[in-house]
Amino acid sequence: MDWQAIALSFELAALTTAVLLLVGLPIGYYIATSARRPLRVLVEAVVALPLVLPPTVLGFYVLLALGPRSPIGAFYESVTGRLLPFSFQGLLVASVLYSLPFSVQPFASAFSAVDSRLLDASFCLGESRFRTFLRITLPLSWQGVVTGMVLSFAHTLGEFGVVLMVGGNVPGVTRTVSISIYDAMQSLDYGLAGRTSAFLLVLSFLVLAATYALQGGAFSPWSKKS
Amino acid sequence: MKGRGVRGLFLVLLGLALLGCKSSTAGEQAQRAVETVRVASASDLKFALDELSAEFRKAHPAIELEITYGSSGNFYAQLSQRAPFDVFFSADLSYPERLVQAGLGVPDTQFKYGVGRIVIWVPKGSPVDPQRLGIAALNEPAVRKIAIANPEHAPYGKAAVSAMQKLGVYDDVKDKLVLGENISQTAQFVESGSADAGIIAMSLALAPAMKEKGRYWEVPLDTYPRLVQGGVVMSWAKHPKAARELRAFVLSGAGKRILKKFGFYEAEGPD
């Protein structure tokens, strides 16, 4: 089994999830609470784009945007002295964009389900928006946050088309497990492809089953459902 | 309000579905008039086959070609599972050979149509001059990423690695390699500037889309195994006669002329 590719995929998925937690929480909060309708609708639409667009569209733009001929690629090169395409960082950028709706949408719907009277009470007691978010909104929507994180992780793990287009298949850097399985199949090594696929299938099933069990409240640290 | 929106959407979808029905029946009628040959082709043939098929259509107006480009190894795997293609053009003769051995390709239709060549290609603005430096161009510090096709399954990738090994630069440059899924993606990596240099098929370097955009140096033919390009007609071809016509056209004088123009050497020997 291609352990290097498996480890790389997990690293990419974990980092993508971490970045999406940082980026996704504020965007989700904005979508859930913003009263300025036209702008909010636009943000929602942009966030949802990767759900609709084929990976080829994203791959096409990402490859051109990261390349040394684009302003973004040139800026990155001048700051770090390295190129973005075919690097782990470049893949991370692509993955974050690709999985954005999978974190933001569950976050936003969990936030908007929080009883607004609790928030008003907190504001009346003089708590800031940020503290209210941390102490009330976040604990009450932890299930949505976990869902968003698991979905981002799983979606990144299963990412294929974008990686194929922008990764360059460098072992240990951009050869993720999905690419490794594809390579094994193309080299007619069905044994290797089968073993890695089976491993991924079982693992994905276990992760998802554990998540749904968690969501069912079985191990919930906050809610005490019976 | 919401109900009306859903109803409107439903009507739009219904309309689209009806449109779809209409166009598909029109398509069926057109298909009855001409025979369609479904071609699976290695992507190094992309531009040569564009021109070949235009010529072929002039000579055989009743035959329609439906061409899919991809990596030869991928097509081999798909054809082993009886993928719906009638003719296979492979960048590596061994794939058609194996299909014939497996009883999937028609034995007497196996053919060689050319010998592929590889070149080191750099974009126009590159400070590196491969024509002066030869293989050493890859060692230049300005070359940070080198695109090659995946040597695990793409014939051009195997050739690139073998040439670099033979010319003694492989160990120095192996950390700069990025792998394209097939030879056209490899060309695209370097054409877009994402990679600084690439080892690609000469047929792509000579293609209209690439010709003006860069410079190349031909890698000596004796540094890598011969890339004998070959094809075969599949046993399940829907229109075997039309498929054979295409094979004959590729091997005819007109076909050979076009292949030569796109940088394929003539394949010697019978078949």
Residue B109 and residue B234 in one domain: yes
pLDDT of residue B258 exceeding 60 = yes
Tokens 């040597």: give the residue: B151
Q: CB-CB: which of B145, B150, B192 is closest to A169?
A: B150
Q: Answer yes or no: is B176 within a domain.
A: yes
Q: CB-CB: which of B77, B179, B181 is closest to A185?
A: B77
The pLDDT tens digits of the residues spanning B46-93 come to 889 999 999 999 999 999 999 998 888 888 888 988 899 999 999 989
What is the arithmetic mean of pLDDT over A203-225?
Answer: 69
Measure CA A148 to chain center.
8
Residue B194 and residue B131 in one domain: yes
ipTM score assigned to the predicted complex: 0.72
Pairwise CB contact (< 8 Å): B177 & A188: no
> Where in chain A are the domains?
10-165
The pLDDT tens digits of the residues spanning A55-65 come to 999 988 988 88
Residue B236 and residue B105 in one domain: yes
Scanning every residue of chain B, which has its alpha carbon at the shortest distance from the alpha carbon of A164?
B181
Residue B69 and residue B132 in one domain: no
- Show the domain range for B241: 34-115+227-261
pTM of the model: 0.77
Q: CB-CB: which of A64, A67, A168 is closest to B178?
A: A168
Q: Answer yes or no: is B17 within a domain.
A: no
Q: Answer yes or no: is B193 within a domain.
A: yes
Scanning every residue of chain A, which has its alpha carbon at the shortest distance from the alpha carbon of B189?
A168
The pLDDT tens digits of the residues spanning B193-247 come to 889 999 999 999 998 888 899 999 999 999 999 999 999 999 999 999 999 999 9
The pLDDT tens digits of the residues spanning B134-190 come to 999 999 999 999 999 999 888 899 999 999 999 999 999 999 999 998 898 999 999
**Third-level CATH fold of A10-165:** MetI-like fold (1.10.3720)
pLDDT of residue A226 exceeding 50 = no
What is the arithmetic mean of pLDDT over A96-109?
Answer: 94
Chain B residues inside the 8 Å CB shell of A63: 192, 194
Beta bridge partner(s), residue B178: B147
* B98–A contact, CB cutoff 8 A: no
Q: Which residue type, as a one-letter code, is found at position B4? A: R
Residue B65 and residue B98 in one domain: yes
Strands (E), chain B: 35-42, 63-70, 87-90, 111-116, 118-123, 146-149, 177-180, 197-201, 214-218, 227-233
Chain B residues inside the 8 Å CB shell of A174: 178
What rounded mean pLDDT belongs to chain A?
A: 88
Strands B35-42 and B87-90, bridge-based pairing: parallel
DSSP reduced 3-state for A194: helix
- Residues of B (112-131) whose Cβ lies below 8 Å from A: none
Number of domains in chain B: 2
Residue B103 and residue B157 in one domain: no
DSSP reduced 3-state for B103: coil
* B148–A contact, CB cutoff 8 A: no
Cα–Cα distance for residue pair B148/B166, rounded to 1 Å: 16
Residue B231 and residue B111 in one domain: yes
DSSP reduced 3-state for A86: coil
Chain A residues inside the 8 Å CB shell of B180: 168-169
Pairwise CB contact (< 8 Å): A85 & B181: no
The terminus-to-terminus CA distance of chain B in angstroms comes to: 70
Cα–Cα distance for residue pair B93/B112, rounded to 1 Å: 7
